[in-house]
Structure 1
């Protein structure tokens, strides 16, 4: 590189530095002059949150009563539809907190609930009254919609038992905190009464929670493999599912009954040819099946077909051949459970029953 080129390069670098220093000085002067004006945050008018008023504890009403039904939209109103999940929410099966903000709000208003929804040991559902169409619908955390009212619901019972009074109190306090943040009222059921009702509901559910099994035992001379079971299962439209059992589905896509290994060893596609099966069990989950008496009749027919195909016998839990009288007694027991559930307004196989017996 010649001396001329070196000189020109040096001049260029010097000019760039001079310009950089000049711009820096100008920015510094502008910050000193106008900086105070930007110390206070200004809201974006297009994304302004709901107006926050000074906290007033009187706005959070500690009303120990169930939400009056007549203040809610009715399904019978012309053109009124409601999300399927929201239909199921009821004070008989859920602890429901009703929050009605003064103006429509988004799902960010329920941030505390999204953070704690898995802390209560039971399912939590949120339904919102849409500001756009005036209909109740299931609310999810990332929904972009605005709502004029919320129902926060904690399920009272499932197969693990009843919700505890402590968890109910925690849920109630969470609802109150959310209402306080929104500076609005909240309507809450009485915790002690709800806890007592949950225990009673759990006792009822336990009394009708019947799982009926028909065992299929191959003869001593017949060795049964996983491939044999898969072949006949497919023949009768049973599909292998993730739980390791073959399921027959009803018209709604729900399990009518399932076929599993008697010793609970799961069936898996990649091990069917290696699996030796000593016995099979057809299972009917009575509370979760529509018209379980008829479902049992279908299961008996299938059990006989499978027994014929697999050179096996239908037996009871003690591996004693199942007689026609025994099958009749089982069916009568199922019919009694079905009637008892219907009398208690929990129809076997309904969406509500599947919630409670999950």
Structure 2
């Protein structure tokens, strides 16, 4: 390399050093001028006003995604952790899938789903044929929910399918419908579906149905008009005086001091008592639905006593399921038989009047 080339390279390096030094000096001078414009504050100016002359609190910008908390002196502290430091941790809902009488279809989402969107879409997931569907969910924080809430985000949904009720065991068609509804939900929110083998589910349904069928019982009494037929208003007036509550599903419930339905009163022909009309009613039925009413050592006696009260008000005869007049003392014998049935129900995990019994004997 010649002396000329060496000299040119040295001059180039010197020029670069001079330019870098000049840039450093200009940058330092600019910073000093900016600092001199804020003589009373050592804070970041972006937290105290983006525009000259703007009061500090008016110019404060908060990032909603960070949820920053501001101390009295203007410092940003803690973000979400500071805002929620005193907030109680979310609690799990207590209502859960009943594995004894329900099977579960799991739906997992690839991305969190807002509660508002999920709730609106799951409103229609309530039945598959004659079987009820219940929707549970888990938040992104792992909190179990029996009802979807707005303001939360969800990672998964569980669809609980009832295996059997008084319409019979879960059928292949009902199971296919439940799976279809679940897959539609999964497709809507980009999720995946997991469920038990179909044959295994149907086998469980048949076994539960067999157990329920062996334990299901309803005991009835009938009021037969003696001298005149009744109108709906006649029956409603007499029933109200005997302690019955308002019409529900066409029948009148008799509710005890704990709010439990003990038995019901209705027309023997199945027509709703709410259908007002002329004196066309000749028979009324009182029904004790054994699995759905809480166990009671005087369950039948209680209903028979009310039936006799009504018979006096309506001029009627009380007869049993065989059409024979109810004999004095028959109540005690029937109550004894019911005690054995109550014990079998409880032993089978279907305690009379329990939530599970109400579900499968519905």
TM-score of the superposition, structure 2-length normalised?
0.64
Alignment partner of 1:243: what SS? coil
Shift, 1:279, TM fit? 2.5
Q: Which runs of 5+ in 1 are unaligned?
A: 1-45, 48-77
1:267 aligns with 2:273: yes
Determine the structure 2 residue equivalent to 1:202.
209
How many residues are treated as equivalent by the alignment? 276
Determine the structure 2 residue equivalent to 1:160.
167
1:287-318 C-alpha deviation (Å, 9 max, x unpaired): 11112544323212211222233333321234
Shift, 1:194, TM fit? 1.7
Alignment partner of 1:148: what SS? strand
Query: 1:125 pairs with 122, 125, 134, which one?
Result: 134
Alignment partner of 2:208: what SS? helix
Shift, 1:124, TM fit? 1.4
Alignment partner of 1:239: what SS? coil
Determine the structure 2 residue equivalent to 1:335.
339
Determine the structure 1 residue equivalent to 2:106.
98
| Structure ranking higher in helix proportion | 1
Looking at structure 2, the residues matched to 243 and 184 of structure 1 have their Cα atoms a distance apart, in angstroms, of 39
Change in Cα spacing, 1:138 to 1:262, as seen in structure 2 (3 Å) is same
Asked if structure 1 preserves the Cα contact closer than 8 Å seen for 2:119 and 2:148, the reply is no
Query: 2:199 pairs with 192, 203, 206, which one?
Result: 192
Asked if structure 1 preserves the Cα contact closer than 8 Å seen for 2:164 and 2:170, the reply is yes
RMSD: 3.5
Looking at structure 2, the residues matched to 217 and 194 of structure 1 have their Cα atoms a distance apart, in angstroms, of 46
Looking at structure 2, the residues matched to 171 and 155 of structure 1 have their Cα atoms a distance apart, in angstroms, of 10
Query: 1:307 pairs with 294, 299, 311, which one?
Result: 311
1:91-120 C-alpha deviation (Å, 9 max, x unpaired): 321120234445532354698866676455
1:200-250 C-alpha deviation (Å, 9 max, x unpaired): 11122122221211112343x455444432222111221341533222224
Alignment partner of 2:160: what SS? strand
Q: Which runs of 5+ in 2 are unaligned?
A: 1-63, 66-88
Alignment partner of 2:288: what SS? strand
Asked if structure 2 preserves the Cα contact closer than 8 Å seen for 1:96 and 1:151, the reply is yes
Q: Which moved more, 1:172-181 or 1:210-219?
A: 172-181
Counterparts of 1:107-146 in structure 2, within 5 Å, are 108=117, 118-131=127-140, 134-139=143-148, 143=150, 145-146=152-153
Query: 2:355 pairs with 328, 345, 351, which one?
Result: 351
Query: 1:235 pairs with 228, 232, 241, which one?
Result: 241
Determine the structure 1 residue equivalent to 2:33.
none
Task: Indicate the structure whose relative CO is greater, using CA pairs within 8 Å and at least 6 residues apart.
Answer: 1
Looking at structure 1, the residues matched to 195 and 229 of structure 2 have their Cα atoms a distance apart, in angstroms, of 61
Looking at structure 2, the residues matched to 113 and 308 of structure 1 have their Cα atoms a distance apart, in angstroms, of 51
